[in-house]
Chain A
């Protein structure tokens, strides 16, 4: 028999939300970087507050590395008077174009999903 008790339901929602948000992480990073340059730690803070996402902070570095390899972001080091130098990331022109395209794609997908959800009511 199917068990729809609240704790299992909540757990499923939690996992699903987490997966959806993690799947959008590349997109969220690009969205953050369109405003200004960020360094890793600062970017994580921004992502956590903007997207309400709980991720292991280290996971952002392989993603930034990949986005850089794909030519969507660029980076530069900035020396600090105190402490370690910071690596700032910013969007490239290719990154801006990719973000615009991804935004369109997201809106189309979202609209289709909305229609689909309305059909079920």
Chain B
């Protein structure tokens, strides 16, 4: 069975094809069956809306039908972001987490603010991880430094000409590793908070 209408107006056909190319991009992260069914459903909807439209050229009627239906990014986007966040929360794979957050950030301003908080949280986890690694590479410059003039530095201290006391020693490695791991696990488990509410 044909899944696309035959337009006599080539402009209408181009509009139709462009719309569903954009929809295909939005549907990509969804699983094949779900994406295929949703696309077929939307095609049926648009076709019926187009056919029921009052007079006008094919292109006009199709554009009006699209206007009523909405842009694929606006109504598929949140579904796509939800799907990716669910996947990331299950797999714990950094690639899925990054992808989920990127799509999530693109899915709405209010949620984007929460997304930024999450991005900062993940950056902090990366920083903890880096500190743990740097301690093995430059042990003298990494730690929790209490300087004589009252300054406190946690992490990498380049200038060690002032008097100081480093209080953590190599304990900074397990501490930072646990903090990085804990932050990553905690934030990823809570990714569901970013999912859109019903």
Listed in ascending order, the chain A residues whose CB lies under 8 Å from chain B are 26, 39-41, 44, 56-59, 61-63, 65-66, 70, 77, 79, 83-87
Contacts and interface: CB of A to CB of B under 8 A. Distances in A.
6 contacts: A41-B44, A57-B45, A57-B49, A61-B42, A83-B47, A85-B1
B45 A40 contact: yes
Interface of A, helix, strand, loop or mixed by DSSP = helix
B76 A40 contact: no
Count chain B CB atoms within 10 A of each CB in A57, A70, A84 and give the residue with the most.
A84
Interface of B: 1, 3, 34, 37-38, 40-45, 47-49, 68-72, 74-76, 78-79, 198
Q: Do most interface residues of chain B lie in helix, strand or loop, or is the interface mixed?
A: helix
Given A58-B75, A61-B38, 19 more contacts: A41-B44, A41-B45, A41-B48, A44-B45, A57-B49, A58-B72, A58-B74, A61-B41, A62-B75, A62-B76, A62-B78, A62-B79, A70-B198, A79-B1, A84-B47, A85-B40, A87-B37, A87-B40, A87-B41
Contacts of B40: 84-85, 87
A58 B69 contact: yes
Contacts of A70: 198
B79 A65 contact: yes
Contacts, number: 64
A84 B68 contact: no
Given A26-B198, A65-B79, A56 B69 contact: yes
A66 B1 CA distance: 28
B70 A56 contact: yes
A88 to B, nearest CB: 11
Contacts of B48: 41, 83
Among B34, B37, B42, B45, find the residue whose CB has the most chain A CB atoms closer than 10 A: B45
Nearest to B198: A66
A87 B44 CA distance: 9
Contacts of A58: 42, 69-72, 74-76
